[in-house]
Amino acid sequence: MSPLNMPGRNGLLALIATIMVLPLMLPNAFYFDIVILIGLNSIVCIGLNLLIGYAGQISLGHAGFFGIGAYFSAILTSTYGWPATAAMVVGAVVVGLLSFIIARPIMKLQGHYLAMGTLGLGVIITIVLTQESDLTGGPDGMPVPGFSIFGWEPYGETVWYWIIAAVLVATVWLSLNLIASPVGRALRAVHGSEIAAETLGVNVVKYKVLVFVLSAIIASLAGSLFAHYTGFITPDTSGFIHSIQLVTMVVLGGMASTFGAVAGAAILTILPQLLTVFHDYEHLVFGAVLIGTMIFMRRGLVPTLADLFNGRQK
Amino acid sequence: MSADFLQFLFSGITVGATYALVGLGFSIIYNASHVINFAQGEFVMLGGMATVFFYGAGLPMPLAMAMAVAMTIFIGMALEKFAVEPAKGASIVTLIIITIGASIFLRGLAEVLWGRNFHSLPPISGSDPINIGGALVLPQSLWVVGGTIVIVITLAWFFNRTMTGKAMVASASNPLAARLVGINLKFILLLSFALSAMLGSIAGILIAPISLAYPGVGIMLGLKGFCAAILGGMGNPMGAVLAGLIVGISEALTAGYISSAYKDAVAFIIILAVLFLRPNGLFSTGGTERV
Amino acid sequence: MTLLRVENLSRSFGGIKAIDDLSLTIRPGPIHSIIGPNGAGKTTLFNLISGIYKPGGGRIVLEDADITGHAIWRLAELGLARTFQNLQIFFNMSAIENVMVGMHLKSDSRFITSLFRTPGIVKGDQDKREEAIRLLEFVDLGDYLDADTDSMPYGALKRLEIARALATQPRIIMLDEPAAGLNPAETVAIDGLIQKISENGITVILVEHDMRLVMGVSEHIFVLEGGRMLAEGTVADIRNNPDVVAAYLGESGRDR
Ligand SMILES: Nc1ncnc2c1ncn2[C@@H]1O[C@H](COP(=O)(O)OP(=O)(O)O)[C@@H](O)[C@H]1O
Ligand SMILES: [Mg+2]
């Protein structure tokens, strides 16, 4: 029963190896910055993938939870002088409660109604963050003090790199564990057939609610880290566009694949950087790439590649 | 009725009419394909932007408008042909991402063609407000509302009285039977995108003199039109029209009496409240899965 | 002795009375069958008993406990299991994982232990896996343990649903047309499987159109028509019942 005997071990080891080697190949802070953002997006997407990919429940509003986490950290540390860790925890608790309260009615919705409900929730959060400008600085955003943990104040891209890498590895590990457990099977059963799951004794609503809350809390924690890392946030962090980016990462990388979420986050974080060479054509190309990928790799990158690979082996 | 109230009501009906048209577009495409077309708001943007451009290029206004509508219809059909049709059978989420990709693409297209700036379009018949019961109403508002009424009536006639329209309705409720009686589903799908694009572009042209035209104008409009479509019970066109008006009026009354800061939240608060009480939309009868 | 009692149950869909003031009793042990033409209300009855539909009226009583309106998942706890006429396989999981979902109630289903993959979770999953292998072998799917469900043949999926239902360790199993769509050889195998299940002390309620199968295994038969009980009794009773013969042969001279 060694921890090495876990599901998805090879993938996790490959990820760790990549993380170890990567700093040697990143020429400067600019590249570190991109990789850190990939890590943060990956963390959110792994949580979101539990909800969308495994439990089959779409959310078009998860950036809202990311934003709440970010703003709680920003406001509590800068305006009220709280320690960063305490602010981060309080943000996560608030998001946990909020998502728990809202999850029951939201998770009753199906398909497009669920899409609408979560989208609406996200938009409302953004509007609140934009309008309560006394607290949040309004549409122009607000600065965030640096992170600190037990008196240590991480500073600079390399330090942040290792922090985010550690959190990412932990998130991947937890996600892989969860999916291979009875809870993970229950979540996948909910996706496969709610009615069958229920007749087998799975309390479908409970699992939907809990996975919604879990993914929201993960988003909130990532939002807090993001706020401290970038040092400045705007309501856009919680916005519809950001929610869409997150879902797109999950779907593009491959639904129901933890490493797919990481791959999707990596691609969609890097792509806009590459596309800046297209200047004015940036959005045009980005949209076209999105459409093309989804048409030709409907199940997403990692599952499609995995199929190709297994097919060749047979 | 106080003049204030009338004022809010009129402005609510004006924006509500736009939401209604966008919501109609969502509904029509949903009926034909069960796709939620998140690029619906971009049709509105394209209608307004293209008119600005054609008018600026020296075309007379009516011709500029007609060209803009034609162009948007063409784009709508291309979207169906090259993005939606090849993805036939994909999951809901995948289709959502595809239409979102399309909306980013169309916004990108507008930026390339016309830049990222705000443009204004002259109103169709002057800008001297008309006094109705103490409320001042822009002539353009009357155009928006009148245009919407004409479109809704024409569509009702189309769906109930013409062969093609009836075929669209039939194939929405029972695709298999429709195919058996020889209805060409591919054509219906293409037509639904053409129709929705047309509705969107007309809405965009009518509202542009009030709301300005810029590449991002379709985002919020699209989302609120989606609200209207869902509120009306997805795939119920007349429900979408009614819901669009309800949303528009509630928004204007909120802005007038409560807080203009939270005006944009109204549509979403309504939709959440309604969905929590009636998980299948306001005007739907709801059904159970057969196992 | 009764195990399950349905009392004056009704349910209609937009004017159509799918189940109309129906009462019946299931005794512990024997195989009970429900037959009747398409649309008679057989599936609706299963859906009502398993809590998927709420009844318009009437009660469902399991060993003196009123279970009308219970949450569906609680009924599994009370020993009620079923399969579906329209397959409800978890196509996103392997065959054995499908069966392991059936053991959900006996598993440690807490998020916290699952996230950290405690030794308890690991041990539990090992045991569950072994049990699932036994069940899959019981329904003759030993070759499909880790198979992708979306590449399994239809007949195998039908048996997978049975294994999954058995995994809940039910007292009653409701089988909705287990032989539909199967070839004659597969039907014979299902016949044997149903008897094996019954021999294990599980009360089987069978909905089936294959009369040879029904007449061969059933101890008690209910005949539904239009949501009402047309007749009930032993195989011999049913064979000799003029109403049933008329309904099944489509005779029109019968008085109503
Ligand atoms: N979810 C439902 N919605 C509408 N009508 C239904 C539903 N379920 C069953 N019915 C109707 O109830 C009647 C009985 O159906 P069913 O129980 O499936 O019959 P059987 O299983 O005996 O063939 C039929 O008329 C059917 O159309
Ligand atoms: Mg049936």
Q: What is the pLDDT of residues A38-86, one digit of tens each?
A: 999 999 999 999 999 999 999 999 999 999 999 999 999 999 989 999 9
DSSP symbols for A159-224: HHHHHHHHHHHHHHHHHHHHHTSHHHHHHHHHHH-HHHHHHTT--HHHHHHHHHHHHHHHHHHHHH
B167 has a pLDDT exceeding 90: no
- Say yes or no for a CB contact (<8 Å) between B269 and A240: no
Expressed in angstroms and rounded, the spacing between residue B287 Cα and the centre of ligand 1 is 12
Asked if residue A292 is part of any domain, the answer here is: no
The model's pLDDT over B29-79, given as tens digits with 9 standing for 90+, comes to 998 888 899 999 999 999 999 999 999 999 999 999 999 999 999 999 999
- Taking residues A111-137, report their average pLDDT: 92
B273 touching chain A per CB within 8 A? no
- CA C150–ligand 1 middle distance (angstroms): 27
pLDDT (0 to 100) of residue A3:
52
From the CA of B285, the nearest ligand is 1
> Chain B residue with minimal CA distance to C177?
B291
Cα–Cα distance measured from residue A218 to residue A52, given in angstroms and rounded to the nearest whole number: 14
Residue B47 neighbours by CB under 8 Å, 6+ apart = B68, B69, B72, B200, B201, B202, B203, B204, B205, B208
Ligand 2 (ion): which residues have CB within 5 A? C 42-43, 85
Domains held by chain A: number: 1
For residue C69, the 8-state DSSP code is T
* Domain that residue A34 falls in: 9-239
* pLDDT of A133 above 70: yes
Q: What is the pLDDT of residue C249?
A: 56
Summarised one tens digit per residue, pLDDT across range A247-293 is 999 999 988 899 999 999 999 999 888 888 877 888 888 899 889 98
- Give domain status of residue A136, yes or no: yes
Q: Give the residue, out of C12, C13, C207, with the most ligand 1 atoms within 8 A of its beta carbon, to mutate for a pocket test.
A: C13
C44 lines ligand 1 (CB under 6 A): yes
pLDDT at C125: 95
Please say if the pLDDT value at position B288 is more than 60: no
Q: How confident is the prediction for chain C on average, in pLDDT?
A: 92
Residues in A lying within 8 Å of B, measured between beta carbons: 52, 58, 60, 105, 108-113, 115-117, 119-121, 123-124, 127-128, 131, 195, 240-241, 244, 247-248, 251-252, 255, 280-291, 294-295, 298
- Asked if A74 and A82 count as a contact pair (C-beta separation under 8 A), the reply is no
Could you say which of C101, C122, C168 has the minimum Cβ distance to residue A185?
Answer: C101
Between A9 and B146, whose confidence is greater?
B146
pLDDT-derived band at A5, boundaries 50, 70, 90: low
Q: How many Å lie between the centroid of ligand 2 and the Cα of residue C34?
A: 10
- Which residues, in sequence order, are bridge partners of residue C181? none
Distance from CA of C65 to the nearest CA of A (A): 18
Nearest 10 degrees: CA dihedral of C100, A172, A207, C97? -10
pLDDT confidence tier of residue B118, bands split at 50, 70 and 90: very high
Q: How confident is the model at residue C194 (pLDDT cuts 50, 70, 90)?
A: very high
Interface chains of chain A (3 or more CB pairs under 8 Å): B, C
Number of residues assigned to chain C: 256
C-alpha C108 to ligand 1 mean position (Å): 37
Contact A174 C77 (CB under 8 A): no
Mean pLDDT calculated for residue range C29-55: 94
- Residue A299 contacts C, CB cutoff 8 Å: no
Q: Which ligand is nearest to the CA of C224?
A: 1
On whether residue A299 sits in a domain, the answer given is no
E strands, chain C, in order: 4-13, 16-26, 32-35, 57-62, 65-66, 80-82, 172-176, 203-207, 220-225, 228-233
Report CA(C215)–ligand 2 centroid distance (Å).
19
pTM score: 0.92
pLDDT at B237 over 90: no
pLDDT at C11: 95
Residue B130 scores a pLDDT above 90: no
| B257: helix, strand or coil | helix
B147 has pLDDT over 90: yes
DSSP of A213-262: HHHHHHHHHHHHHHHHHHSEE-GGGGSHHHHHHHHHHHHHH-TT-HHHHH
Query: B271 and A283: CB-CB below 8 Å?
Result: no
In angstroms, what CA-CA distances link A60 with B120, C86, C147?
32, 31, 33
Chains that touch C (3 or more CB pairs under 8 A): A, B
Contact B291 C53 (CB under 8 A): no
Is the pLDDT confidence value at C256 over 50? no
Query: To the nearest whole percent, how much of chain C has pLDDT over 70?
Result: 97
* Backbone region of residue A122 per phi and psi (left: phi > 0; alpha: psi in -120 to 50; beta: other values): alpha
Predicted confidence (pLDDT) at residue C61 exceeds the cutoff of 50:
yes
Mutation choice for A interface testing from B104, B107, B226 by most A CBs within 10 A: B104
| Whether A200 and C165 lie within 8 Å, measured CB to CB | yes
Q: Look at A141-145, B56-60, B120-124, B204-208 and tell me which has the smallest mean pLDDT.
A: B120-124
Report the pLDDT averaged over residues A234-259. 92
Average pLDDT over all residues of chain B: 89
- Token pair 């693409």 in the structure block, residue: B105
Predicted local confidence at residue C143, as pLDDT: 94
State the pLDDT at residue B17: 95
Ligand 1 atom with the smallest distance to the CA of C224 is 22
Query: How far is residue B238's CA from residue B229's CA, in Å, rounded to a whole number?
Result: 9
Please list every residue in chain C whose beta carbon sits closer than 8 Å to the beta carbon of residue B291: 43, 47, 52, 84-86, 88
Tell me whether residue A116 is in a domain.
Answer: yes
Which ligand neighbours the alpha carbon of C86 most closely?
2
C42 CB within 6 A, ligand 1: yes
Residue in B180, B37, B45, B40 with CA at minimum distance from that of residue B99: B37
C149/C89 Cα distance (integer angstroms): 8
**CA C236 / ligand 1 centre spacing (Å):** 29
Return the pLDDT at C246: 78
- Chain A: nearest CA to B93, how far in angstroms? 7
In the DSSP assignment, the letter for residue A74 is H
Please judge whether B291 and A195 are an interchain contact, meaning their C-beta atoms are less than 8 angstroms apart. Answer: yes
Banded model confidence at residue C229, pLDDT cuts 50, 70, 90 = very high
A199, two tokens: 């007749």
Report the DSSP pairing between strands C32-35 and A232-233. unpaired
b/e code B75-114 from CB counts within 10 Å (16+ = b): bbbebbeebbeebeebebbbbbbbbbbbbbbbbbbbbbeb
Q: Which atom of ligand 1 is nearest to the CA of B288?
A: 1
CB contact under 8 A, B262 and A131: yes
pLDDT reading at A314 higher than 70 = no
| Whether the CB of C11 sits within 6 Å of ligand 1 | no
Determine the residue of chain C that is closest to B288 in CA distance.
C53
Which range has the worst mean pLDDT, A97-111, A266-280, C167-181? A266-280
Chains near B (3 or more Cβ pairs under 8 Å): A, C
Query: What is the C84 CA–ligand 2 centroid distance (Å)?
Result: 9
CB distance A298–B94 less than 8 Å? yes
Name the CA radius of gyration of chain B, rounded: 19
Q: Considering the domain boundaries, does residue A176 fall inside one?
A: yes
Of the residues A106, A112, A136, the best mutation for testing chain B's interface (the one with the most B CB atoms within 10 Å of its CB) is: A112
Q: Which atom of ligand 1 is nearest to the CA of C44?
A: 17
For A36-68, give one letter per residue: b (16+ CB within 10 A) or e: bbbbbbbbbbbbbbbbbbbbbbbbbbbbbbbbb
Strand partners, C19: C11
Rounded to 10 deg, the angle between the B40-56 and B3-33 helix axes is 110
Q: What are phi and psi of C221, to 5 degrees?
A: -125, 135
Amino acid C254: pLDDT: 38
Q: Report pLDDT for A281.
A: 85
* Residue A53 lies inside a defined structural domain of this protein: yes
- Does the beta carbon of C39 sit less than 6 angstroms from any atom of ligand 1? yes
Which residues, numbered 107 to 166 in chain B, qualify as contacts with chain A under a Cβ-Cβ cut-off of 8 Å? 107-109, 111-112
Q: Closest chain C residue to B289 measured between Cα atoms?
A: C52
Any A CB within 8 A of B84 CB: no
C contact test, residue of A9, A52, A178, A199 with most C CBs within 10 A: A199
Residue A300 in any domain: the answer is no
Listed in sequence order, the residues at least 6 apart from A32 whose beta carbon sits closer than 8 Å to its beta carbon are: A23, A26, A157, A158, A160, A161
| Ligand 1 atom closest to C39 (CA) | 19
pLDDT higher for A295 or A277? A295
The Cα–Cα gap between B64 and B56 comes to 9
Instruction: Compute the nearest-CA separation of A4 from chain C (Å).
Output: 12
Is C229 in contact with C24 (CB distance < 8 Å)? Answer: yes
Contacts of C227 (CB under 8 A, 6+ apart): C10, C17, C18, C19, C20, C22, C40, C41, C44
How far, in Å, is the centroid of ligand 2 from the Cα of C92?
25
Residues of A in contact with B98 (CB under 8 A): 290-291, 294-295
Minimal CA separation from B128 to chain A, in Å: 33
User: Measured between alpha carbons, how far is residue B97 from residues A106, A129, B30, B130 in Å?
Assistant: 21, 26, 15, 44
A60: chain B residues, CB-CB within 8 Å: 96
Confidence of residue A305 (pLDDT cuts 50, 70, 90): confident
Question: Rounded distance, CA B160 to CA B168, Å?
Answer: 10
The reply to whether B283 touches chain A by the CB within 8 Å rule is no
